Amino acid sequence: MNLPLLLVNFKAYEQSTGFNAVALAKIHDEVANETGLSIAIAVSAVDIKDVVAAVKIPVFAQHCDPVDFGARTGFLPPKLLKSLGVTGTLLNHSEHQISDEVLQKSVEAAKAAGLFVIVCANTPEKGAEVVKFGPDLIAVEPPELIGGDISVAKAKPDIIVKSVELIGRDKVLVGAGVKNGEDTKIALELGAQGILVASGVTNSPDPKKAILDLVRPFA
């Protein structure tokens, strides 16, 4: 995975799922092709197969479980995701948190399947704990800022500084309220390797314009 990285989480918004997921994914693919910059998307499990078939950029799952193929009703085996062409997975997002025990097993299972693993953490301290499980990146997102109008880069830049200090300069993505290129610029200047975004793109009236603005500081 090339860094710096823009990872856009489609979540389960109506405008970024189903047929809309493919259309939005193609916009990300177009920007990546035009700019040569590193852009990836995390999509709903029900949209993975269609999105993977439609784009060349890395597609992430929003979650996976520490299970293999078999009698696993409702679970998402990492090997299944890999077989569908998925590049990586998010784990432990604040909207889908799991215990440390399950998280460690999930990281191990995902890595064994060949997936790129990004673990979400609410605080720098939590990130420093879970980085020991061996994920590729830690995305630090203060939950009180997720989906808001003020970004972590502007409201709490000290969180980025502390995350880099505790987790490592090569391991940190930041998110929560990230909306524009100025937020990205601040995050990179403070040592982050990229940003995790959702509503700043999915809810934008002009997603392409929003993506281009977010990755502008990458160039």
Q: Is 141 labeled as catalytic in the residue annotation?
A: yes
Cis omega before residue 4 (within 30°)?
yes
Q: Is 93 labeled as catalytic in the residue annotation?
A: yes
Ranges of the chain with pLDDT below 50: none
- 3-state DSSP assignment of residue 172: strand
Amino acid 156: pLDDT: 78
Amino acid 145: pLDDT: 65
Angle of helix 181-189 relative to helix 157-167, nearest 10 degrees?
A: 40
Domains in the chain, ordered, with CATH? 5-218 (3.20.20.70)
Per-residue pLDDT reduced to its tens digit, 7-34 = 999 999 999 999 999 999 999 999 999 9
Q: Which entry of 125, 141, 144, 165 is annotated as an active-site residue?
A: 141
Angle of helix 207-215 relative to helix 181-189, nearest 10 degrees?
A: 20
Sign of CA dihedral 131, 133, 136, 137: negative
Q: Which entry of 93, 125, 182, 189 is annotated as an active-site residue?
A: 93
Distance CA 148, CA 200 (A): 9
